[in-house]
Amino acid sequence: MAVRLTQRILKTQTPFLSRGYPMLVTKEKTEDVAHTKTALQKKLTRTDIPSAQYGGRHAVTMLPGGGIGPELMTYVRDIFAFCGAPIDFEVVEINPSTEGNEDLEYAITSIKRNGVALKGNIETKSQSLNEVSRNVAIRNELDLFVNVVHCKSFPGIPARHKDVDIVLIRQNTDGEYAMLEHESVKGVVESMKVVSLENAERVARFAFEYARQNGRKKVTTIHKANIMKLSDGLFLEVAKKVHKEYPELEHNNMIIDNTCMQLVSNPHQFDVMNMPNLYGTIVSNVICGLIGGAGLLSGRNYGDHYAIFEPGTRNTGTAIAGKNIANPVAMIMASVDMLNHTGHKEHARIIKDATYETVVTKGVRTPGIHEIFFVIKSEKFMDLFYIDLGGTNSSTDVVQSVLDILSTRRVHCV
């Protein structure tokens, strides 16, 4: 009878942890806050993120990807096991060399079942026109319409600028990533850029709602509407219309090429940035280079039904795989975001604090680019962005420091 009574109570209550879209733009604080739905949110019909099962544990899909992804995922699992994080990972490997989408389809099925995933960058080595980018296909199939990267400086990390605090809100499924290409006549290839009213509105509203609920003051829409008058023109016009519902926020716009120059010269003028897909790729890498490298920042991908967490700049790091020099911070912080999303806020807090103390206070950091460039002997400079902190420690040194700090904490450590 006690079991039946418990089941009845659970069925009549909607756990805070299982709420969907409104959770995505809530204040980035440890306390729970009340949520209200916007007009757009009320129109959405959605399946909530699955609530915890088996005594409060969550099943999460893990996609290691290629390059340094598998080793970074091992570090995350070690940290979670050590501090008792109530997460059960369903690991799905996707072979980048195979043709066919069986692995991809299984990964998508797993994410739909679990609602949440932690992901490394997945390579697509096949050059066949029938093979789509696995990363793009996952985002499109799950309708993960927005990507969020919080670009905030770490004190003491060698960087071009200090005290940077910018939130990138990127449209995640439209634009040049629509994967609509064809050869119209021999030697002439056309690639379609798709901007839809619906997706432009969703990402703009997300950006303004995020700014409102996190105490931000300004949203800057990035575009190239002076040249692409219809596509980027629509994106900009929608942002202006949505801004009318948020009169307390400042809104301006900036052309993408000028944006890159302004970021390098004065990044502190930006607060929240709203942009189409391709521009988000460019801007996120520029900012990461300014504040210490891609190995520091995590990225969050949200849809109405599902969420995927990954390193912020989506680099594979093939050139440094297996060398024990990759910076694990971005993947650890992605796992922290995932814990917050599933409601395990205390575990998220202690892991985040331990990582911060490791990198900032104790100065346990992976090598800098200039110290390791000739060891790798690679022309893949983007891969080198994962070795960015200017330290002398290995990847496992960083992880061991995090574990040592966690051993002094009181939240279910073993």
Residue 32: closest CA among 49, 15, 46: 15
The per-residue pLDDT for 22 is 34
Name the pTM for this structure: 0.81
The per-residue pLDDT for 117 is 97
Average pLDDT over residues 34-38: 39
Residues above pLDDT 70, as percent of the chain: 77
The per-residue pLDDT for 409 is 82
The per-residue pLDDT for 313 is 78
Higher local confidence (pLDDT), 101 or 155:
155
Higher local confidence (pLDDT), 336 or 128:
336
Q: Find the largest Cα–Cα distance for the chain.
A: 73
Q: How confident is the model at residue 339 (pLDDT cuts 50, 70, 90)?
A: very high
Average pLDDT of the chain, as a whole number: 81
Burial class (CB in 10 A: 0-12, 13-18, 19+), 9: exposed
Residue 209: closest CA among 52, 13, 352, 26: 26
The per-residue pLDDT for 85 is 92
The per-residue pLDDT for 41 is 40
Q: Which of 55-59, 147-151, 268-272, 364-368 has the lowest mean pLDDT?
A: 364-368
Strand duo 307-311 + 298-302: pairing: antiparallel
Average pLDDT over residues 170-192: 88
Q: How confident is the model at residue 370 (pLDDT cuts 50, 70, 90)?
A: very low
Q: Which of 271-275, 293-297, 343-347, 401-405 has the lowest mean pLDDT?
A: 293-297
Average pLDDT over residues 318-346: 90
- Coil, strand, or helix at residue 344? coil
CATH number of 176-291, picked from 1.10.10.10, 3.40.50.2300, 3.90.470.20, 3.40.1390.30:
3.40.50.2300
The CATH class given to the 48-123+131-159+296-413 domain equals alpha beta
Strand duo 165-171 + 307-311: pairing: unpaired
The per-residue pLDDT for 368 is 57
Q: How confident is the model at residue 396 (pLDDT cuts 50, 70, 90)?
A: very high
Q: State pLDDT tens for residues 111-165.
A: 999 999 999 888 766 556 666 778 888 999 999 999 999 999 988 888 888 899 9
Q: Is pLDDT above 50 for 340?
A: yes
Q: Is pLDDT above 70 for 12?
A: no
The C-alpha atoms of residue 272 and residue 218 are separated, in whole angstroms, by 6
Residue 232 to residues 145, 177, 224, 238, 277: CA-CA distances in angstroms? 17, 14, 6, 10, 11
Q: How confident is the model at residue 175 (pLDDT cuts 50, 70, 90)?
A: confident
The per-residue pLDDT for 33 is 35
The per-residue pLDDT for 263 is 96
Q: Is pLDDT above 50 for 403?
A: yes
Domain boundaries, the chain: 48-123+131-159+296-413, 176-291
